[in-house]
Each structure stands twice: as C-alpha cells, then as structure tokens.
Amino acid sequence: MLLTCRSEAWPIAGRFTIARGSKTEAHIIYVEVTDGAYRGHGEAVPYARYGETVEGALAALDAARPAIEAGQTPALTGAAANALDCALWDLRAKASGVPAWKAAGLRSFSPLKTAYTLSLDTPEAMGAQAAANARRPLLKLKIGGPDDLARVEAVRRNAPKTRLIVDANEGLTRDSLKALAPELKRLGVVLIEQPLKAGEDDALEGYKCPVPLCADESLHTRAELDRCARLYDAVNIKLDKTGGLTEALALKRAAKDKGLRIMVGCMVATSLSMAPAMIVAQGADFVDLDGPLLLAKDREHGLKITGSMLEPPEPALWG
C-alpha cells in the first residue's frame, strides 16, 4: 500500500458566508492509496471550527503513513480520517469490482434531491438569491444577526413554494430562538439547524420548539448521540465530522434507532466529497450535498447535477 496526500484549493462561485465568517476558496486535502494494481482516492475539508487546519491534517496523515502503508488502521479523526477512509472504500471497490454502495449494504443507489444553500447576506440580497433559485425544492438559508426575520421573510416572499431550512451555525441564544421560532413556523420553515453554540445547547432541554431542531456542530460521531437525542429532533451527519463513511453509516443507523430524523450534509467541496455521502443520504429526511453547486468549477468526472438532482457517481469519480 502506498499513500499520497496533498492540499488543493477550489474557487467558490462568489463568496460563501455563514455566521462565523466568509470565504472565497474551498481548501481541501486529497488522499490517494494504491496497492500497485488499483487506486482509490478521497477528499475532505479540515474545519477551523473544530481546531483543524489543512497543514495539521496532512501532518497527521504523514505521521500515520507507516501504519497506513502496512495495512493497519491509524488513530486519525475528522478530515484526515475521512479522506483516508473514503479512499480505502474506493480502493476496495476498484479492486473487488463490487461498488461501494453494494458493499455498504444498499439494495439500490438512487438519485437524490439536494438542498441549495443561500449564503448569509442582507435581506435584499438573500431575497434576490431566493428569486434566482425559487424552482429548487429545498433551500437552506444561513442566518446569524439582528435582521434574521427579515432575511427569512425576504426568502419566503421570493420563493413562496420552496421548503425552507434555516441554519444558524450557533448564532442564536435561547431567548432569540424562542422569539424567532414562532415566526419561522409561520413562514413555513421545516427545520432549524444548530441554533445555539455546541456545549451551550443544554439550554434546549425541555424546550418545545415549534420547528424541529437539528444538531450539526454538536454532533460528530456516535459518542455525542445520546446527548443530542435529548435536545434535538434531527441530526446532520457529515463525513468530515464522523471521520469517514464507515462511522457515518454506523451513526445513521444508531440515530434512526433513536427516532431521530436524518440530514446528510457537507462542507463546500467537490463531487469527490459528495459521492460517498450520497450512500449515507439514501433514504435520509433531508439531503444537503450542494458543495459542487457552490464552486466555480468541479473536479473531473464530477457528479451529474440537473437542477437540484444529483445522479449517483460514475466509477471514474469514486466507488
């Protein structure tokens, strides 16, 4: 087994802004593994919110190189673990001739309708974004400031028939959530993602929110699931948080067993990140795998995307 890893930067179409800040490029790590006859690859996004950097993730992979090339399972987490795990799934699929979705136990691998994310901006600008995407079946809008209600009202006015998810990215307090939630219910919002800061969301216990609440930053792996099940109605599973497809599949099963609704999400990244996530997203309540739609260009052999419909990946991409 030989390991290759590097950093890549992919330009975003414009600027992507959430409550914590904005960016114009997606910085990823790319991993390739080969057994001499076959190659598998994967990518991941190290996320500053979780104490990760591109340099740190690459250093972790390099330190684990002897174990990886000896066929052992290294003690990696987060983005580094994800890129490696997905590369190994791809390698096994190529070497065995069994597609990754079959190896994951699926009976079929179907196209998926993804949400489309509206970047945080002024109410007027977000209304314009909504108008340009009003035919999409599901929009997710970023909020995080005093004009949040005006933002959602502008989006609803310009996309009257579209289902809406609101993502606060930890930008609300319990009091602001309690004030805003009834208005979001009135506007037809179907889900509120991560309203409070992770670690401060015990304040949600016992609160009967009129709109279902979804854990994102609060949930990485099965280790946080029991706690989140007390506080939330849904969980957002992202492979960059779980450390790969293997744990993501286990987390999905465990979350469903607890009666939680499932969202499968992503960071801003290329189709190579979305392809393994599409396996987890089969049958999910909400799919948010719009990363390639937010980029100025996608990777070669990228997913075929028509409107908001994602077609399963070709083997040349992954799996």
pLDDT the model gives residue 144: 86
Contact 216, 234 (CB under 8 A): no
Structure tokens at 80: 């580094």
Tens of pLDDT, residues 185-226: 999 999 999 999 999 999 999 999 999 999 999 999 999 999
CB atoms within 10 A of CB 97: 7
Q: How far apart are CA 144 and CA 301, in angstroms?
A: 36
What are the backbone dihedrals phi and psi of residue 92, each rounded to the nearest 5 degrees, phi first?
-60, -40
pLDDT the model gives residue 83: 98
Percent of the chain with pLDDT over 90: 96
pLDDT the model gives residue 281: 98
Tens of pLDDT, residues 263-313: 999 999 999 999 999 999 999 999 999 999 999 999 999 999 999 999 999
The upper half-sphere exposure of residue 189, i.e. CA atoms within 13 Å in the direction of its Cβ, equals 32
Contact 195, 168 (CB under 8 A): yes
Structure tokens at 303: 């997913």
pLDDT the model gives residue 277: 98
Residue 239 pLDDT exceeds 80? yes
Structure tokens at 248: 């993501």
Tens of pLDDT, residues 103-153: 999 999 999 999 999 999 999 999 999 999 999 999 999 998 889 999 999
Measured at the alpha carbon of residue 291, what is the angle toward residues 102 and 23, in degrees to the nearest 5? 150
Residue 19 pLDDT exceeds 80? no
Identity at 111, one-letter amino acid code:
P
pLDDT the model gives residue 142: 94
Which residue is it, tokens 């290294």?
Answer: 74
Tens of pLDDT, residues 39-98: 999 999 999 999 999 999 999 999 999 999 999 999 999 999 999 999 999 999 999 999
Q: What pTM was computed for the model?
A: 0.96
If DSSP states are collapsed to H, E and C, what string results for the chain?
CEEEEEEEEEEEEEEEEECCEEEEEEEEEEEEEECCCCEEEEEECCCHHHCCCHHHHHHHHHHCHHHHHCCCCCCCCHHHHHHHHHHHHHHHHHHHCCCHHHHCCCCCCCCEECCEEECCCCHHHHHHHHHHCCCCCEEEEECCCCCHHHHHHHHHHHCCCCEEEEECCCCCCHHHHHHHHHHHHHCCEEEEECCCCCCCHHHHCCCCCCCCEEECCCCCCHHHHHHHHHHCCEEEECHHHHCCHHHHHHHHHHHHHCCCEEEECCCCCCHHHHHHHHHHCCCCCEECCCHHHHECCCCCCCCCEECCEECCCCCCCCC
